[in-house]
Structure 1
Amino acid sequence: MKGVIFLLLTISLSHADPRGKPYQKAKVCHEFNILGKEKFSALAVIMNSRKYSNATFEEIDHLVKAIASLAETCCVEGVTELCYDNKASSLSEKSCDPKSPFPKHSGVASCCVHKGLERKLCLADLKQPPKEFPTYVEPSNEELCGSFKTNPHIFFYRFLYEYTSNYAHAPLQVVLNSTENYLNMIKECCTSKKPTPCFLNQRLQRHPLHLLTVMSNRLCSRYTIYGTEKLKFSAAIMFSQKVPSAEFKDVMPTVEQGTRLLAKCCGSLTDNCIEKELSGNIQQICKKLSKDARVAECCKKLPVDTLHCLHSMSAAESIVLPGLQLPSSSQLCKKGKNQELEKYMFELARRNTKLPEVFVDKLYESVAVVVKKCCGSENSNSCLEKKKSQLNEEMKMYISEGNELCGEYNKYPFSEFKQRIIKSLNKRVPKLTSSKVDEIAEQRADLASTCCIINAPPVYCKEKINKVIGNRCAQEPCLI
């Protein structure tokens, strides 16, 4: 099984690099003949659903059938040496057909202007960005068993497509374990004389494995989007708002250890790295932060449940802390590992625990641009002093606007929340037409419903915040 994982990574869309053809053909045929068509095709569904997570089931199905056909036709005794190469080349040609049934990708057209090797290598590199937040909803037990009994083959493949495309960021071995466990549950319970108690028992047993898939997908998604340094900042802000009593010096070691874990495990293909490494990081978090009663309660659970509990915790109420000043230019511009701006944002987040992390991240990015520009100027102190007053004013305005938006969203029913936005806009900007007011209110309501929540999707929310809250700077020079 582990060997075929590598093989499927190398033959997506069958655009293999000709320089490795002899090895790849031998590898493909060896694994196809060991696994058989069914298991080979199942793994092809998993790999390509992860690679093309926004493709339809029909597109993935066409692609998998093409890959399986390549192996089935050219991996038998007596075929010519050219069988494999010619069939792979024909699939490459098919990918460039505007009516191709394979997964759609905006980069296909630019790849298809090339010929031969360059085209194949270009097509092989294409990959859709994974979904930022899963949309898979599991059917009822009755629906599951109905679909399974109607056509087990299609049921298995469709489930593999749905599940793996939704958790494409989770480490491969975690997904393989979880999907195998789920399909075994379906086979056992849908053929049981007492399916209801069977499902209940099996779901209880599978809970840690599914939760590991959900959490590792969430964490690895953040790691992929943010990268190492940005993820450390994001995690530190999360802890500052959920445990505002914790100090920066206590939070950072746990954040750095967790980031190293993700760097090591998110791209792992053949082992249970994240499962093995997780408990050590959870132990450190609990050791450092369990003075907080809510953290202590989470830490009574099993490691993966503790992780889920910590990430699901709502933001705490802000605590009374001394006033906060933007660091001096000498602090912000000193060389080496400089965490002064991160410390400042951490402290700012402790004082504004209800301002979601995605809003704090946008603020941090904007301030970092100003700081970097001033620190690179001839007189950094003079530059920052000139900007400081405007920065403080704009930060205050941005935080106030974010707090008001998210505070009201979480306080009122959605319909009332939207009406309050409209009333506020009519009061603040009376010259706006009713249609423009409705348009802005719709934008703000949409922003709040997606981004004023725990674990909001960072890429989507960054674009939304820039568009909605950033609009206030359209007619004047703004730093943020």
Structure 2
Amino acid sequence: MKLLKLTGFIFFLFFLTESLTLPTQPRDIENFNSTQKFIEDNIEYITIIAFAQYVQEATFEEMEKLVKDMVEYKDRCMADKTLPECSKLPNNVLQEKICAMEGLPQKHNFSHCCSKVDAQRRLCFFYNKKSDVGFLPPFPTLDPEEKCQAYESNRESLLNHFLYEVARRNPFVFAPTLLTVAVHFEEVAKSCCEEQNKVNCLQTRKMFLPTMMDAVKGMLCSASVTRFTFEYSRRHPDLSIPELLRIVQIYKDLLRNCCNTENPPGCYRYAEDKFNETTEKSLKMVQQECKHFQNLGKDGLKYHYLIRLTKIAPQLSTEELVSLGEKMVTAFTTCCTLSEEFACVDNLADLVFGELCGVNENRTINPAVDHCCKTNFAFRRPCFESLKADKTYVPPPFSQDLFTFHADMCQSQNEELQRKTDRFLVNLVKLKHELTDEELQSLFTNFANVVDKCCKAESPEVCFNEESPKIGN
């Protein structure tokens, strides 16, 4: 059996790259060519695994027909790669041929999948898998002597049967894992069947079924997280770095939990649902923020974030808070009009919180901020978004100076006036920390109205003297 010793590389096979797209970069082309070469060399085994996992009820004889068809397809494409059918993704070709097998879709109840195409069909086949394999007959077993006789008389058939039986009972185990188990099966069979005491050797090398099934479970569970990250990232270029890291963490947690259960495949079959759940949650957060931008405008959004940031980190200086607020607004004004707004907003907004945490490293701002900064990097932004006003903060004594304005306010240029306005809002939140966002916004509106009214008055100074004390009331 020419199953690989390159067990690390087989993570590139098409079973893990169902969404493989045409390569554009040199490294992509190299990976693509290597993957294609692997598929060509191992088409029989790949077909056995895929068919047995997609159509678990199918017989070994039905599987053999499909293998023959796929080998013929491979030979045609090897001879002439310009044929139209040779430009298709291998998994699409496989599913087309499964659907084309006469009477098979109706016999095994997956004709509804065959009415779909491409990604929708792949997803349908995936959801058609059954983790509860109680409907299958018991795993066929042979005693050690019979096993060795079968291996010596028809090695290929024995190995194909073994791979078929294991794959149909483990529909959610990665194909590389099953191939690795099959490699182990052959190595042990070859070694022990040459021994005089075959029974003792096979028992010592743990060849019997229960141990092999444990091996299957133990191996996806030891699957490389470095490799999962690579595969998931290149299949989801639309996701932000923080979101990809969130999904990787969920994947790690899932492995840790599922590998302690009796049925790991049945446990992690819902992995994609969990990934989609966290992505949808993050997406809704970005959509809500961009909606704020559309409704409030640039200045309104900045005031919104100045209030939020000051409430969660009032210990920062006024200038630090104004700077963070401006950078947060820049993230939304830059990203919310782009088609890839999700990744753009998530990446840039996280940088702002990263800057806040940089300050926190040098001096602890408050316990809540410190907690978010020390939490898992991937979940730092959601942590900050959930923070409320810091209850440990003691506002400074009331000072009427904050609400005292003069005629020079009207002489400020646009940028200078904006900075004074921003500083006033931050100081207002610090002083009136216990007020709701709506109450603070109302006070700020009073301030804006006073500035507008007095700057239009004949005597701005007199107007400010009369109107300023009313702002804080």
User: TM exceeds 0.5?
Assistant: no
State the TM-score, normalized to the length of structure 2.
0.37
Q: TM-score, structure 1 length as denominator?
A: 0.36
